[in-house]
Amino acid sequence: MTLRLYDSATREVRDFVPLRPGTASVYLCGATVQGVPHIGHVRSGIAFDVLRRWLEHRGLDVLFVRNVTDIDDKILTKAADAGRPWWEWAATHEREFTRAYDRLGVLPPSAEPRATGFITQMVQYMERLIERGHAYTADGNVYFDVRSLPEYGSLSGHRLDDVHQGESAGTGKRDPRDFTLWKAAKPGEPSWPTPWGDGRPGWHLECSAMSTTLLGAEFDIHCGGMDLIFPHHENEIAQSRGAGDGFARYWLHNGWVTMSGEKMSKSLGNVVAIPAMLQRVRAVELRYYLGSAHYRSMLEYSDEALVEAAAGYRRVESFVHRVAERVGDVTVGEVTDDFAAALDDDLGVPAALAAVHNAVREGNTELEAGHGDRAREIAGRVRAMTGILGTDPLDAQWAEAGAGDAADAALDVLVRAELDRRAAARADKNWTVADEVRDRLEAAGIEVTDTPDGAQWALAAKEH
């Protein structure tokens, strides 16, 4: 079956035909490293890691680029508020993102360019745009003239009359709908020299320069969150096509992680940070959960859904481990036809997971019936399928995580049951029971903190 992908630009599912036979070139808009990553940030990394693994399974050599935005208004503001150099703030949080990707089993990209490393290419891009009549300079700024490109708005469906760029103010714009390619230098901000004066890049220009420099003027797939469709990806298309590049041939966008129906973001205060999540479930269980929905759908976060997903993964894990213990080594086999059909159909992970669990049920039946060789064959298929999803139970990364993480997850289940009991008592104004629960947890070395998002717990620090 041919791999078919939903292309956001054409709004239809299309057969994937690589630009260069045998090779797939993929660009993913990566992190703006302004703070500690939360589960909403890493969902795209996991979703398109599955895409990469499936393309490789299908025999393609995948060139996968994931950028780092290390210069941005938000980075500068947060660094200034913290009294720290902007470059140190960015580097610190870049390491946090790398650590999160690594913990969740996301394969390292072929290249991970930083925006500040491609200033020369950005200047060249602006020179091309000015020469072709799509950009102009004003007061040291460089702007893209959206009216110069008749197809502007084709990706998002925005009509030109309704465009609002939502960017910080600049001077000299001919039209408020134009967007900024280059920002004139301001006192106290980092800047780089250009023919039009010192300044720093606009967000959209960064990705066009990095993607085309590394993957070529035309490449296969551009990925990112659906919140980037406008203005970021719309403006990437405009400046890249305006400069004469073919740019991306397919556009893939993943849905948000939501909480109470709202997009997870720092501004809403409903952030679930990766380090905190990994105190509650094992990394492989968190990856399984974040990758379990179809990449284009919204993933509504809840504690209950996380616990249910972790339990589902443990059923898969338990089967593979029991086969290995009873029968012997389980080598990676071939994926099942229904699994392959699911992923070939626009990366249908929910149907692919159904194929995994069907195989687990069949394998458990064979194992209990004493058909060891058959059970081991099925376990090999399960390893192949979960490997593509990044959750192979016998992968060395998850084996090394091991019993400590599993014990932490089990402890979390027990503690949260007590916290639920305490919450119910407090709701009934039964303060005696509520205090008893808290005292019992504290006596066991567990600190309880009440937050706007509910009670949180942590092991008390040991005295030395």
All domains of the chain, ordered by start, with CATH? 4-254 (3.40.50.620), 295-394 (1.20.120.640), 404-459 (no CATH)
d(CA 110, CA 291): 21
d(CA 334, CA 353): 15
34-36-38 Cα angle (round to 5) = 115
Instruction: Write the DSSP string, 408-445.
Output: HHHHHHHHHHHHHHHHHHHHTT-HHHHHHHHHHHHHTT
DSSP letter, residue 35: S
pLDDT tens for each residue of the chain, 464 residues long: 699 999 999 999 999 999 999 999 999 999 999 999 999 999 999 999 999 999 999 999 999 999 999 999 999 999 999 999 999 999 999 999 999 999 999 999 999 999 999 999 999 999 999 999 999 999 999 999 999 999 999 999 999 988 999 887 778 999 999 999 999 999 999 999 999 999 999 999 999 999 999 999 999 999 999 999 999 999 999 999 999 999 999 999 999 998 877 787 766 555 688 988 998 899 999 999 999 999 999 999 998 999 999 999 999 999 999 999 999 999 999 999 999 999 999 999 999 999 999 999 999 999 999 999 999 999 999 999 999 999 999 999 997 654 445 555 567 668 877 887 898 889 889 999 989 988 999 888 887 877 544 676 766 644 43
pLDDT of residue 410: 61
d(CA 3, CA 443): 56
β-pairing, 257-259 vs 299-300, is parallel
Q: What are 459's strand-pairing partners? A: 446
Residue 310, burial from CB neighbour count under 10 angstroms (0-12, 13-18, 19+): buried
d(CA 228, CA 236): 10
pLDDT of residue 461: 45
pLDDT of residue 463: 43
209-222 CB burial, b ≥16 within 10 A, e <16: bbbbbbbbeebbbb
pLDDT of residue 397: 92
Cβ proximity of 116 and 295 under 8 Å: no
Instruction: Write the DSSP string, 291-303.
Output: TSS-TTS-EE--H
pLDDT of residue 346: 98
Query: In what helix (H) or strand (E) does residue 348 lie, and over which residues does it extend?
Result: none
pLDDT of residue 460: 60
β-pairing, 199-201 vs 179-184, is antiparallel
Cβ proximity of 69 and 33 under 8 Å: yes
